[in-house]
Amino acid sequence: MNKNDCIFCKIVKKEIPASIVYEDEELLAFKDINPIDKVHLLIIPKEHIENLFSCEKKHNELLSKMLLLAPKLAKENGFMRKKAQRTSF
């Protein structure tokens, strides 16, 4: 899939609406439109990355930032348990 067809790229470009809970120069986080739990957020890079297999060493800091952001956003959005149900990739 190229970035012109990528639904996440369209969300980043604000071509598709999303309930955004966090945004900075590298990342965007928003509520899932079909949540499977009380708190169900998606954290995506603004840079188009096809999938995890496409990640390279240059993405180390970005991936780390995404993982560290997840518990912070979960707490800010009402998830109070110390053990998360799941973190998916």
Q: What is the pTM of this model?
A: 0.87
3-state SS class at 58: helix
- All structural domains of the chain with their residue ranges: 7-76
Please classify residue 12 by burial: count the beta carbons closer than 10 Å to its beta carbon, then call 0-12 exposed, 13-18 middle and 19+ buried. Answer: buried
The domain made up of 7-76 has a fold known as HIT family, subunit A (3.30.428)
Q: With beta carbons less than 8 A apart as the criterion, state whether 46 and 62 touch.
A: no
Residues 18-30: tens digit of each pLDDT: 999 999 999 999 9
Query: What was the pLDDT predicted at 18?
Result: 97
Whether pLDDT at 7 is above 70 = yes
3-state SS class at 33: coil
Kindly report the number of other CB atoms within 10 A of residue 7's CB atom.
Answer: 11
Residues 34-76: tens digit of each pLDDT: 998 888 999 999 999 999 999 999 999 999 999 999 999 988 9
